[in-house]
Amino acid sequence: MSERMSSEEFRRLLKLPPANGNPPRPQLPRPIPKRLPAPALDGKAQGVTGGGNSVAERVRVKIKGFVVRPKDPDNHAGGCKALIDQLRYAGLLEGDEPWRIVLETDQEKVAHYSEERTEITIIYP
């Protein structure tokens, strides 16, 4: 005489998901990320670098675009993001957080497209 297995027993034996289609989810503990507070820019708070950096202690990055058709200031500054990231990847900047650098952007109109260029000046404290 053969024994008959229920469909749930069969699924458990073959390690199939339950009949409702949803596999059981293991309950894993979720680690809570440890966030460090951003240091204040006035140099009074303690932060990642051991203390907030005043303007005199931060790296000054000047990006000046020489262009035929100057952009809106916010467009020019927004377009500098990729440049600053590449300076960071190249190791020229420790980071691009506001407590590490002072960013200055400027544009100057030129007469011909052949004169267009971007000048980057990095001044370390």
List pLDDT tens digits, range 52-88: 566 678 899 999 989 999 888 877 777 788 889 888 8
39 contact partners, CB below 8 Å, separation of at least 6: 45, 46, 47, 48, 49, 51, 52, 53, 99
Structure tokens at 97: 């957080």
Q: Is the residue at 98 inside a domain?
A: yes
Q: Is the residue at 111 inside a domain?
A: yes
| Beta pairing, strands 101-109 & 59-67 | parallel
Distance CA 49, CA 47 (A): 6
Q: Is the residue at 92 inside a domain?
A: yes
Q: Is the residue at 104 inside a domain?
A: yes
Mean pLDDT confidence for 42-52: 48
Q: Is the residue at 100 inside a domain?
A: yes
The reported pTM is 0.55
Note the pLDDT tens digit of each residue in 26-36. 666 767 767 66
Which of 35-44, 49-58, 115-124 tops mean pLDDT? 115-124
Task: Write down the pLDDT at residue 52.
Answer: 58
